[in-house]
Amino acid sequence: MKTFAIGRWVLECDPDATRSIYEASSHGAHVCSCAYCRNFIAVRDEAYPSEFLELLAALGIDPHKEADIAEFGEEGAGRLYQGWYHFIGRVVEDHEDQMTLSDSGTVWSVFFSASRSLALSKFGDEPLVQLDWSVTLPWVLAEAPESSAGV
């Protein structure tokens, strides 16, 4: 296990084992065909702050293989999205506050917990950390959000 200090958090992680599990999985937002997920996929790569992508890579997480995402309606000029990933490890120091990342003009809030919500079955009984995030993203699809069945 490697130890990471991320903001005020201290985490232990096995990035190699985590990466192997993500490589063996095809799960992610792309498996859903609803308009909310398709919109997220259309904007996420341009909206990810480089610091967020570096964090995911260091933890062994594939950014295109979310455990789940959800859309919560209008938020300012965009749509509020929340989602999460998992990695093998544990929270060593928990400061129960969100960390914000932004260099793409979009602010991502990040939080770590010991939750296993919708974790890939390939993780088995490994100790997991859940990386929760939230962000407001623009709607870029030609179809209106309400035309989708929802998430």
Q: What is the mean pLDDT of residues 93-103?
A: 78
Q: CA 36 to CA 94: how far, in whole Å?
A: 32
Confidence at residue 101, expressed as pLDDT on a 0 to 100 scale:
80
Confidence at residue 148, expressed as pLDDT on a 0 to 100 scale:
46
Q: If we measure between CA atoms, which residue out of 111, 104, 112 comes closest to residue 137? A: 104
Domain definitions of the chain by residue range = 2-147
With H, G, I as helix, E, B as strand and everything else as coil, classify residue 43. Answer: helix
Helix (H) or strand (E) holding 42: helix 35-47
Q: Which residues contact 87 (CB under 8 A, 6 or more apart)?
A: 13, 14, 15, 18, 59, 60, 61, 128, 129, 131
Confidence at residue 94, expressed as pLDDT on a 0 to 100 scale:
81
Q: How confident is the model at residue 30 (pLDDT cuts 50, 70, 90)?
A: confident
Q: How confident is the model at residue 16 (pLDDT cuts 50, 70, 90)?
A: very high
pTM value surpassing 0.85: yes
Q: Which two tokens stand for residue 115?
A: 């939750």
Helix (H) or strand (E) holding 91: strand 78-93
87-111 as b/e: b if 16+ CB within 10 A: bbbebeeeeeeebebeebebebbbb
Confidence at residue 6, expressed as pLDDT on a 0 to 100 scale:
84
Q: Which residues contact 49 (CB under 8 A, 6 or more apart)?
A: 101, 102, 103, 104, 106, 108
Name residue, tokens 């998430």.
Answer: 151
**What is the maximum span of the chain, computed from C-alpha positions, in angstroms?**
46
Name residue, tokens 């967020």.
Answer: 52
